[in-house]
Structure 1
């Protein structure tokens, strides 16, 4: 059997220090430290690796923790010939190192990364796994990844997800109470006031209802006559009920928002206004619920609020008034 390397010895001692050592173990550990001053550094590195805190090794908390631990180890090494060496101090120091590394690693690992855009802004983000996010205006996405899963939350707006294939780590996007799960595909998720829209461009996804407690439920079960959501189609899922609708769409046209253009083909005015507001410097407000279901068709520059207002007021008996920095839409009769 080949001899155990110094790195492996350091890893073994790291684990044993976290437990209980008898007098024989303590003497062996003291002898191992005395063999080579480099063993102190190896032990420090092993502690970081063994406790899974490699990703936070350069954080201020970790640097301080490491400095204190190294100083304790050096002081202990300087006292190694003393018969009255206080091993209780050693055990306490080791326990503190274990706790500090574990808590710092947990605290930082558990905090998701957050990516956002302002009004009229577009952003492309490359994630650590190779996946790519394209964010629409006024959008926020939180990202949390570990060895078993890739979990994202769409908190506002719309984003397109080009997912790097990894069958062992599902890629999920939670938008309010609607969960979209994939392993390697291309799709977008849009969060609106009363619904979530999922467009599939490539691959396969499952869209599920995510209750406050309990497991998620598939919204579109596959059957002999139903293949679920397929590329080139959009799923519209209300957030207050489980009824969904799947419709065909022009895929290139549906991505026009990436270049700052929006296409409306008979969409309700309420939805059109929500999309225009992602880039608007002055928020548009539909002040009369009777306006909400009026349909809008056309192509608009998402930053050109004035052209959009001109279009809808020319098509319908709507008047637009600027009030307190907002553009208020009302029926002309009501305005009079």
Structure 2
């Protein structure tokens, strides 16, 4: 295993944990060196893949890779397994076509679900999607999360957090599952908050919050709402997301847009975590990961084939 690959694997795991300010500064210096961006992109993808597997699958894959390659992928799988043992709550989904999404104690991460909805996980939250033909159900474990739900009248969107159930069709709301009495705040649209297994419900309008205890849900006075009104994170976590969608998200928050020289590049699948607020850095990272060339112009940054 070459030193740059070993360093990339270590950084991929460290930056998915709880990096300090010193870690971030050291990472920026290391990342700027020639060849490191491409190595990091490869390591980050391997760690992401490893964390979608159970411990048994990781061990089996590690043994296979050790025999066939003798190096890099075996090391990455081993590091990922150690990361899981240290506390990352990553599990297999209950249905094969709805892979689980999760976040450990790291920076807030935004994830896109198969139906187009997005989930912003905060404070160590992790979530378990259980989609079917009749409903879109998500189990939230710990932490806080913001849900931006894609409208689908045929399949209601239900978030289960502890003893609470929150039902929505197309809306934006937050769920705080850090206590035994989960709290829900509605940002936009309409939701119904229920004590699980009962008919006790309250319907919220934008700006209202509810708390769910064993006695049922109750409205929380606006002045004492315990949920902060944080803006959605600018971190994007992509799992096979089209390159065009990643660029679209970045162009919404950057004055100098990223362009594609060839429209055919729009469909390239992208996997990894990206800060979309820094267009220049994002373009370099995408170029390194996809084998493209980033050209820095006065009015735009252009990605093209090499």
TM-score interval (norm. to shorter): 0.3 to 0.5
Ranked by relative contact order (alpha carbons within 8 Å, sequence separation 6 or more), the top structure is 2
Could you tell me the TM-score, scaled by structure 2's length?
0.42
Could you tell me the TM-score, scaled by structure 1's length?
0.38
Question: Is the radius of gyration larger for structure 1 or structure 2?
Answer: 1
